[in-house]
Amino acid sequence: MDVKVRYSPSVIGLATGKIVWVTDLLRDSTDLSGLGKSCGFVPIDTAKTTISIQNIEANTGDKVQVTLKLTSENGLVKSGATNFKAKVGFNRTILHITDPAIICNSGTNADRCEVEITGTHQSSSDILAVTPAEATLGNAERTNLELLSFEWLNGTGAVNVSRVNGELILTDICREGGVRLYQPTQIVSLSMVPNPASGNAEIEYTLREESAVKVSLVDVLGREVMIIDEAVRGAGTYRKYVELSLAGDGVYYLRLQAPNVTKTVRVSLVK
């Protein structure tokens, strides 16, 4: 006996199911497969993509680019996926991201930098993103450029992602007498004299490399009280003389912010 079954699906994407037959004489079931084949539904195959970070060879001080590339794809256009989010990790002592809009997060490892990159894939190019950076003398002569995560954010179909890491190699390291590398005790320095201060004070900070920088005074709740300096500065030591009496007595924090580092110093203001 042939039986035609009509149904309204409650879940999208199922390809198999079970029908339970109940009569006055028996209860039975039938397994079904190929659900939706006669309803005009064509399943979207899972797209496959390979995303890689390009290798870099550079001398210290060279301007470089961290390039995220779509190495291969199958079905990406059909999936409709274009927007993406990626996370890249590396040794921050030998690679400095120069785009001030990209924040470097280090967590508990002072030598580590992890940055988030977002963008939109253009069908005319296999380059997904280019992030400007500078190779610097640090505590190593090479670092992995780790593609920690990559996610397509839109589209109607599933997209699998294979990730391929890259590598940065410094090519001008002096090896005479052994490899000579810079061992940073701190990336920046920040101080206020006198501390505590009762009025005028000298703020001094040092940068190891060119960077956009903001120095500000914040209260214990993190609210910005005063901007002391905000500019793009080259490597070197800078001093600012400021009048702090208007801030009021109490404990404050002197904060320096750069794209790849934040440093905070506790200060006191008294009358």
CA dist 130 and 250 (Å) reads 45
CA dist 256 and 127 (Å) reads 34
Residue range(s) defining the domain that contains residue 72: 47-170
- H-run or E-run covering 78: helix 76-79
Q: Which of 170, 202, 229 lies at the terminal end of a domain, its last residue?
A: 170
145: exposed, middle or buried (Cβ count in 10 Å: 0-12, 13-18, 19+): buried
Q: Tell whether 8 is covered by a domain.
A: no
| Average of per-residue pLDDT across 157-168 | 92
Whether the predicted pLDDT of 210 surpasses 90: no
Average pLDDT value for the chain: 81
Q: Tell whether 249 is covered by a domain.
A: yes
* Same-domain pairing of 146 and 245: no
Contact 68, 120 (CB under 8 A): no
pTM over 0.75: no
* Same-domain pairing of 157 and 236: no
188 compared with 252, residue with greater pLDDT: 252
* Same-domain pairing of 92 and 137: yes
Q: Tell whether 175 is covered by a domain.
A: no
| Average of per-residue pLDDT across 8-37 | 60
* Same-domain pairing of 54 and 166: yes
Q: Give me the pLDDT at residue 183, please.
A: 46
Report the domain count for the chain: 2
* Same-domain pairing of 143 and 209: no
CATH code, 102: 2.60.40.680
Q: Which of 121, 138, 170 lies at the terminal end of a domain, its last residue?
A: 170
Q: Give me the pLDDT at residue 216, please.
A: 92
* Same-domain pairing of 119 and 226: no
Whether the predicted pLDDT of 199 surpasses 60: yes
> Distance between the two ends of the chain, CA-based, in angstroms?
98
pLDDT category, 193, cuts 50, 70, 90?
A: very high
What is the tens place of the pLDDT at every residue in 55-96? 999 988 788 999 999 999 998 988 889 999 999 999 988 888
CATH code, 247: 2.60.40.1930
| Average of per-residue pLDDT across 20-27 | 64
Q: Tell whether 181 is covered by a domain.
A: no
For tokens 């079905």, the residue is: 75
* Same-domain pairing of 116 and 223: no
Strand-pairing partners, residue 251, are 268
